[in-house]
Structure 1
Amino acid sequence: MNFHNVNLPKYIEIFAVGVSEFTTSCATSMSGREVRSSDSQIARRRYLLKGCRLSQLQFDAFNSFFIARAGKRFSFRLKDYFDFKVDKQIIATGDDIETKFQLKKLYQDDFAPYLRSITKPKISTLKLWLNNEEIVPQDIGLNDGIVNLGKPLPTGVKLVASFEFDVPVRFANDNFEYSFNKDGTISLDKAELIEVLE
């Protein structure tokens, strides 16, 4: 598995400017009508490290982090400060059979709600409830976000969860640009991250 269970340093994470994107094909018929089809059902996120001005010590740590990931070879964790938590959301309804459940986040919409699988939860923040009673699962998948209750969830019972999570990302390129500033700081230029869909 080409994943390292480490976070991008916090002093870099806060500079990440995010973009969430789908891939859609558009075609125009002879009558002029437009036909659109989704090439991807899942939104993929990109992050540009923009406006980063680092001290020499911070730059050295970032450079070491980049080298340890071998450029874009190994993915890692990133906290998206705009979207990193789930608060008391129903993640499953029991059928008296299933014992394992994928952590998910619901993006509510009256017409087309979107459900996102969460594979990199922060285990220490996870709380689960059954019938308003907090429970402790048998196991939690650190790298897949699967919760194992150890016994079937009773039919009709809702499993509710609150947690924080990271996004699995990799560097978009095998190189990055940097420049020195007159005040002695170092600027990162065009360093981009891309979400790894698992």
Structure 2
Amino acid sequence: MSFHEVRFPVSVSFGSTGGPERRTEIVTLASGHEERNSPWAHSRRRYDAGLGMRSRDDLEVVIGFFEARAGRLHGFRWRDWSDWRTAPSDRAIEPFDEEIGVGDGVSAAFQLSKTYLSGPTSYVRPIEKPVEGTLRLGVGGVQVFDGYALDTATGIVSFDTPPQDGAVITAGFEFDVPVRFDTDVIEVSMGGFEAGEIPSVPIVEVRV
């Protein structure tokens, strides 16, 4: 898949709508009971960037971005303003926000992730598009400043020396969502746009 490591204009994405989508298959039995199953291990996010366009300048920026991605052909980065960092909005990012692995003395590469908790249930989401320059890393409860490298295209942290057995690896960071346009057509009526009619610009998360 062709992916461009460029972010959709954040001034437009801030006013967009969207969020996570799950796929659930439900079969209702003769008794009235249900059998439910999901073929997806991870959610998939959908957005509409149209609602973020407030001026002709915004429209021109979106059309330019759309053309540069050739419609649905190339993926790109998207900031989900409802979920884009490991720390709560009222707290600074810390190197101990998320546990991303435990050392075994052999493994040197670890995938960034974010864990969502609700009661006794949790969901671990792989993060593959961290924002460059935002990573803070911890090993064994101590922040580390060197001896590792981050691939911002995959979200994999690679240590020069494998962390020792039992050492908990933690991280804090900002991240984007890998997406693409979910249409090859943007229909705009300038008269309607000036009157407040906003074109739909659907965007969908992609697996990378």
So what's the TM-score if we normalise by structure 1? 0.92
- Structure 1: runs of 5 or more not aligned: none
2:28–2:35 CA contact under 8 A, matched in 1:
yes
Aligned residue number for residue 93 of structure 2: none
Aligned residue number for residue 154 of structure 1: 164
SS in 2 for 1:60: helix
Aligned residue number for residue 38 of structure 2: 38
| Higher normalized strand content (fraction of residues) | 1
Deviations 1:35-68 (A, max 9, x none): 1111211110000124344433332222111011
Deviations 1:152-181 (A, max 9, x none): 111111111110000011011101222325
- Structure 2: runs of 5 or more not aligned: 88-96
SS in 2 for 1:30: coil
Superposed CA RMSD in Å reads: 1.9
Whole-angstrom CA distance in 2 between matches of 1:39 and 1:96: 35
Deviations 1:8-57 (A, max 9, x none): 11221112211311111111122221111112111100001243444333
Aligned residue number for residue 130 of structure 2: 121
1:51–1:187 CA contact under 8 A, matched in 2:
no
1:59–1:186 CA contact under 8 A, matched in 2:
no
1:133 equivalent to 2:115? Answer no
Identity %: 33
1:71–1:171 CA contact under 8 A, matched in 2:
yes
Equivalent residue pairs, number: 198
1:178 equivalent to 2:188? Answer yes
So what's the TM-score if we normalise by structure 2? 0.87
Aligned residue number for residue 193 of structure 1: 203
1:55–1:186 CA contact under 8 A, matched in 2:
no
SS in 1 for 2:11: helix
1:64-103 alignment runs, 5 A limit: 64-87=64-87, 88-103=97-112
Aligned residue number for residue 47 of structure 1: 47
SS in 2 for 1:178: coil
